Amino acid sequence: MPVTPLTPLKTAAPEEEGLKRLRWLGYFLDNAIRVPVVGYRIGYDAVIGLIPGVGDLVGFGLSMYIVVAAMRYRLPASTLLRMVLNVGLEALIGMVPLLGDLFDAAFKANVRNLSLLDAHLASRSQGSPQPSDFRFYAGLLLAVAALLALAGLLLFALLRALQALLGA
């Protein structure tokens, strides 16, 4: 079959494609926007976080996607725990209006997590395999799902309370 400009080239392994997507998402969330004059970069995670309630929940979900996708690369439990703590800290402090958004722009949990993933992949390529524990991964996924459900319930309760206060 002849290759045309519209023919997708399959040059990278599926693992590389997945890494490219994760790196793009991390860049999008933490470094996509260059602040003029200062030259500092912020991401859309900080911008989305400005939307009260929903913004922080969406940012948390996108950041956790990176962590869950990183599980495919058989990260050690300690690395996954650090990744979850990075996202959790950013989400927790991110709930504080304005101050949390500034912290979100400066902390860059997604870039930190991708650095942890890259360090693991570099050590793996040097021949030091890490053990994998299915029970740990399953427990971590359940904990993340529970946190997302709890955040959703809290948001729902907050919206109901606001509705009752405003008499709508």
67-90 per-position pLDDT tens digit: 988 888 888 888 988 999 999 889
The answer as to whether 48 is a domain residue is yes
Q: Is residue 108 part of a domain?
A: yes
- Does residue 34 fall inside a structural domain? yes
Residue 56 placed within a domain: yes
Number of domains in the chain: 1
- Residue with the bigger pLDDT between 97 and 67: it is 67
Is position 162 within any domain?
A: yes
Whether 75 maps to a domain, the answer reads yes
Q: What is the pLDDT of residue 159?
A: 75
H or E segment to which residue 42 belongs: strand 41-42
Which residues form the domain of 18? 14-121+131-166
Domain membership flag for residue 7:
no
Which amino acid appears at position 162 of this protein? L
Tokens for 61? Answer: 């979900």
Instruction: Report pLDDT digits (tens) over 104-145.
Output: 899 999 999 999 999 998 887 655 545 556 677 777 777 777
